[in-house]
């Protein structure tokens, strides 16, 4: 296919992605970002420095060397199609006055985003094959060793902010990211040239545990989201419990205080992202006593299945203990 044909294909691909419900789509080429295979470039070097500081905690998959060289994921890759899907729903977390209710991160309120993204990506990949039957195509929705935020920035979707989230001009950071890889040499879009956080430090100042240790650097070992979702220990670290602020699954504080999110968040068009009733301000006592059977029923088709029953119990009991103590009571560690 000649250059004009590739231009036409790229335009049609973006149109098809929007038709399937994606809110933003951009393209970049792999060769533009890689120098010699043995020399880490830009974001790849930043990732290695982050790993060297031990900020990944127990997230062992972040150490996969494929993250630093997309060609190890797909040796023939020429182009990356980055896609964003808005998941924002205009509901609020429960107020602190409702001390019996917990907080769940907004991304997990509705249906498992992996399922929604996978379906759309499969359709997009299938469409691309109808246009170019010989093309090799792979896609990932937070399921492979891909630096999705980096490739989204390189494709012009947004910039990586001081809280390490990707922010778009249109939807803030309330977006799910995914990528489609292909051996087709599609014309690239200009990358987002600079970040637009400016001198703002609201996310750093608001983080309950100071997990954002410096602009653009998050220490997972200090992050509430990491401990409530990924930490498999029987108990949470004693030092983090007083700072949970009601969070039992994830944490959105650094996103909630972001001016871009406060000004530009838009309701999603995907009805499946609307909250399941039990996920919006869940009753802490229900979670503190949840059984395996209740967990299976309650979190079916939910990204929250990653949090196992004993972890829900642990998280909810920690929040309950903190709130009791803040009200002037004392309690033993459950």
Question: Which residues have a catalytic role annotated?
Answer: 142
Pair 160, 211 in one domain = no
Beta bridge partners of 86: 175
pLDDT of residue 333: 36
Pair 176, 238 in one domain = no
pLDDT of residue 35: 65
pLDDT of residue 193: 77
Residue 196 lies in a domain: no
pLDDT of residue 4: 84
Residue 296 lies in a domain: yes
Reported pTM: 0.93
pLDDT of residue 194: 74
Pair 169, 256 in one domain = no
Residue 99 lies in a domain: no
In this structure, the number of other CB atoms found within 10 A of the CB of residue 234 comes to 9
pLDDT of residue 272: 97
Domain span including residue 220: 202-263+276-326
Which H or E element spans position 3? helix 3-19
pLDDT of residue 5: 86
Task: State the Cα–Cα distance between residues 7 and 10, nearest whole angstrom.
Answer: 5
Residue 79 lies in a domain: yes
Q: At what angle do helices 113-131 and 3-19 cross, to 10 degrees?
A: 150
User: What total number of domains does the chain contain?
Assistant: 2
Pair 212, 259 in one domain = yes
Residue 190 lies in a domain: no
pLDDT of residue 334: 33
pLDDT of residue 327: 76
Residue 97 lies in a domain: no
pLDDT of residue 73: 96
Pair 64, 126 in one domain = yes
Pair 305, 160 in one domain = no
Residue 281 lies in a domain: yes
Pair 283, 218 in one domain = yes
pLDDT per residue as tens, the chain (334 positions): 677 888 999 999 999 999 999 999 999 999 988 865 544 568 888 999 999 999 999 999 999 999 999 999 999 999 999 999 999 999 999 998 899 999 999 999 999 999 999 999 999 999 999 999 999 999 999 989 999 999 999 999 999 999 999 999 999 999 999 999 999 999 999 999 777 999 999 999 999 999 999 999 999 999 999 999 999 999 999 999 999 999 999 999 999 999 999 999 999 999 999 999 999 999 999 999 999 999 999 999 999 999 999 999 999 999 999 999 887 654 443 3
Is-contact 123 218, C-beta < 8 A? no
pLDDT of residue 330: 44
């Amino acid at each position: 296919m000649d250059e004009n044909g590739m231009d036409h294909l790229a335009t049609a691909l973006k149109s098809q992605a929007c038709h399937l419900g994606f809110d933003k789509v951009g393209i970049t080429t792999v060769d533009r970002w890689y120098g010699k295979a043995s020399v880490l470039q830009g974001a790849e070097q930043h990732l290695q420095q982050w790993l060297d500081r031990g900020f990944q905690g127990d997230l062992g998959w972040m150490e996969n060397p494929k993250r630093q060289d997309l060609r190890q994921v797909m040796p023939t890759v020429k182009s990356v199609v980055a896609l964003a899907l808005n998941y924002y729903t205009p509901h609020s977390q429960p107020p602190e006055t409702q001390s019996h209710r917990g907080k769940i991160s907004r991304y997990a309120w509705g249906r498992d985003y992996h399922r929604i993204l996978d379906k759309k990506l499969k359709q997009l990949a299938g469409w691309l094959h109808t246009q170019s039957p010989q093309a090799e195509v792979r896609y990932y929705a937070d399921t492979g060793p891909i630096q999705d935020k980096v490739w989204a920035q390189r494709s012009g979707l947004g910039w990586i902010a001081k809280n390490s989230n990707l922010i778009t001009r249109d939807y803030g950071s309330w977006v799910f990211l995914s990528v489609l890889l292909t051996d087709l040499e599609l014309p690239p879009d200009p990358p987002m040239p600079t970040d637009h956080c400016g001198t703002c430090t609201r996310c750093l100042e608001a983080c309950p545990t100071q997990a954002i240790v410096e602009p653009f650097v998050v220490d997972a070992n200090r992050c509430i989201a990491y401990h409530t979702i990924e930490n498999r220990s029987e108990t949470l670290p004693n030092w983090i419990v007083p700072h949970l602020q009601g969070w039992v699954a994830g944490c959105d504080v650094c996103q909630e205080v972001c001016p871009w999110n406060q000004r530009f968040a838009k309701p999603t068009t995907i009805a499946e992202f609307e909250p399941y009733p039990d996920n919006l301000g869940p009753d802490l006592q229900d979670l503190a006593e949840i059984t395996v059977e209740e967990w299976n029923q309650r979190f079916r088709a939910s990204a929250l299945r990653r949090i196992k029953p004993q972890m829900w119990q642990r998280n909810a009991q920690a929040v309950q203990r903190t709130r009791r103590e803040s009200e002037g009571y004392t309690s033993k560690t459950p």
